């Protein structure tokens, strides 16, 4: 191109005369400065990074010596020394937390740690000041509200303390279980007072209900639980529901367990209810060793074969078939379901069945107490019938129980006397209160 001259890099370099002493000194000085700051940055980065994983005192000491102006290294050293639980080390930890907070005065986490350590050494005035400084920096953080609230409760400031705990639990449900325990602890066992402290927060209500149930305070737990709005998409709510239901079953409170308010689910004629058999026509699935006692359960084992079939049915699409083999003498696995009933009430269990069984041993339907397994009543032996027949069991519920087990079983037999072949079909079981 005309008018444009490109200068060679070689010409430019020749223009700089490196042989002169001043130029040499400047270059050397520049290299030293770059090297110094590079090393400092490297050491700072190394110390800052290593402080995250510091776990022994020597490492904490080294990090602070490498980067004494970094609050994170002082925080790391403090955390390491605090974990030893030695008196002298706790004082070192305190000094390091103070240094860290001084170097980063707007970091609320440092003030929380400092407040906690002041509390451990008994300096409550400075502990409160540190917690309140953290509160100034992060007024809406649940972690801060929780720490300040707990400190104030220990100092006897209940009104402000519970106000802070309320903010913490409302902001983050992970504090709910601890808040429930704290409220109960600081209320000297007064359940109503403990509940009133944080009442109205759903996560607290859930946690408090389970806490009471675990302590066998089931009546109060149910009173609180059944007022909670169901939360079908909240895993903690679902876990608490399962836990509470399990505890009620363990305590043989079957009516309470089956009427416990829980996540919304489809309801229909086959759903379990008080005085009602679940899945009476076997239209739903039958699961081996079903953990839900209010559904059909097939016990562990391989004999006899138990399944749902569409080959024979009294109504609907399916019935339950029990297949017996003449060569099988081993332990008999039955079919069972727990039904919630009204104490003292009289019922009739009605079973529709067919049978082509050839057997020396007899088969029955039994009603037993779900509380202790003792027999309440039993059907007449089931007779072969190529047409649908009806077997019934009349019984009265003892006044001290509210659950019965209905189950199909084999009579007592030994060895070859247990031999049987053929099948039973069952369908449309019904429990009728008289």
Taking only the tens place, the pLDDT of each residue in 314-371 is: 999 999 999 998 766 678 888 999 999 999 999 999 999 999 999 989 999 999 999 9
Which ranges of the chain have pLDDT less than 50?
1-16, 18, 23, 26-27, 30, 32-54
Instruction: Count CB atoms within 10 A of the CB of residue 204.
Output: 25
* Cis-peptide into 304, omega within 30 deg: yes
Angle between the N-to-C axes of helices 191-198 and 218-225, in degrees from 0 to 180, rounded to the nearest 10:
30
Instruction: Count CB atoms within 10 A of the CB of residue 173.
Output: 19
**Inter-residue contact 378 to 406 (CB < 8 Å):** no
d(Cα 342, Cα 256) in Å, to the nearest integer?
11
For 46, 213, 431, the CA distances from 292, given in Å and listed in that order, are 56, 20, 19
**Inter-residue contact 104 to 97 (CB < 8 Å):** no
Alpha helices in 172-269 (DSSP H): 176-185, 191-198, 202-214, 218-225, 235-250, 254-259
**Inter-residue contact 267 to 278 (CB < 8 Å):** no
Instruction: Give all domains of the chain, ordered by start, each with its CATH number.
Output: 39-259 (1.25.40.10), 287-433 (2.60.120.260)
pLDDT 10s digits, 368-411: 999 999 999 999 999 999 999 999 999 999 999 999 999 999 99
Classify residue 228 as exposed, middle or buried by CB count within 10 Å of its CB (0-12, 13-18, 19+): middle
Classify residue 341 as exposed, middle or buried by CB count within 10 Å of its CB (0-12, 13-18, 19+): buried
Sign of CA dihedral 7, 10, 14, 18: positive
For 285, 327, 350, the CA distances from 390, given in Å and listed in that order, are 23, 28, 7
pLDDT given at position 159? 96
pLDDT given at position 87? 80
pLDDT given at position 39? 39
The residues that bridge with 306 in the sheet, in sequence order, are 322
d(Cα 157, Cα 149) in Å, to the nearest integer?
9
Classify residue 275 as exposed, middle or buried by CB count within 10 Å of its CB (0-12, 13-18, 19+): middle
**Inter-residue contact 130 to 102 (CB < 8 Å):** no
d(Cα 70, Cα 68) in Å, to the nearest integer?
6
């Amino acid at each position: 191109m005309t008018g444009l001259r490109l200068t060679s890099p070689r010409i430019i370099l020749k223009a700089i005369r490196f042989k002169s002493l001043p130029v040499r000194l400047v270059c050397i000085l520049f290299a030293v400065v770059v090297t110094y700051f590079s090393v400092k940055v490297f050491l700072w980065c190394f110390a800052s990074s290593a402080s995250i994983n510091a776990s022994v005192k020597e490492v904490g000491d080294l990090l602070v010596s490498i980067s004494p102006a970094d609050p994170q290294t002082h925080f790391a050293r403090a955390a390491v020394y605090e974990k030893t639980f030695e008196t002298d080390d706790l004082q070192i930890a305190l000094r390091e937390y103070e240094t860290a907070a001084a170097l980063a005065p707007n970091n609320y986490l440092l003030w929380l740690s400092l407040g906690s350590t002041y509390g451990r050494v008994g300096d409550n005035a400075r502990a409160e000041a540190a917690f309140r400084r953290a509160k100034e920096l992060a007024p809406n953080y649940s972690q801060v509200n929780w720490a300040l609230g707990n400190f104030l409760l220990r100092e006897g400031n209940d009104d402000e303390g519970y106000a802070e705990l309320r903010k913490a639990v409302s902001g983050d449900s992970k504090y709910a279980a601890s808040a429930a325990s704290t409220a109960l602890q600081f209320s000297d066992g007064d359940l109503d007072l403990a509940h009133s402290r944080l009442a109205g927060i759903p996560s607290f209500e859930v946690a408090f209900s389970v806490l009471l149930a675990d302590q066998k305070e089931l009546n109060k737990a149910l009173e609180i639980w059944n007022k909670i709005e169901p939360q079908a998409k909240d895993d903690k709510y679902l876990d608490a529901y399962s836990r509470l239901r399990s505890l009620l079953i363990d305590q043989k409170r079957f009516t309470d367990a089956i009427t416990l308010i829980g996540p919304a689910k489809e309801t229909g004629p086959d759903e379990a209810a008080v005085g009602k058999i679940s899945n009476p026509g076997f239209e739903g699935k039958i699961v081996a060793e079903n953990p839900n006692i209010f559904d059909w359960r097939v016990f562990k084992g391989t004999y006899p074969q138990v399944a749902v079939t569409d080959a024979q049915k009294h109504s609907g699409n399916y019935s339950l078939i029990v297949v017996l083999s003449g060569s099988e003498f081993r332990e008999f696995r039955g079919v069972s379901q727990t039904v919630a009933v009204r104490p003292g009430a009289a019922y009739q269990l009605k079973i529709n069945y067919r049978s082509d069984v050839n057997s020396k041993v007899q088969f029955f339907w039994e009603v037993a107490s779900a509380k202790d397994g003792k027999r309440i009543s039993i059907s007449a032996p089931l007779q072969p019938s190529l047409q649908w027949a009806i077997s019934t069991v009349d019984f009265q519920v003892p006044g001290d129980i509210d659950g019965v087990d209905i189950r199909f079983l084999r009579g007592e037999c030994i060895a070859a006397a247990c031999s049987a072949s053929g099948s039973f079909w069952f369908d449309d079981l019904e429990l009728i209160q008289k």
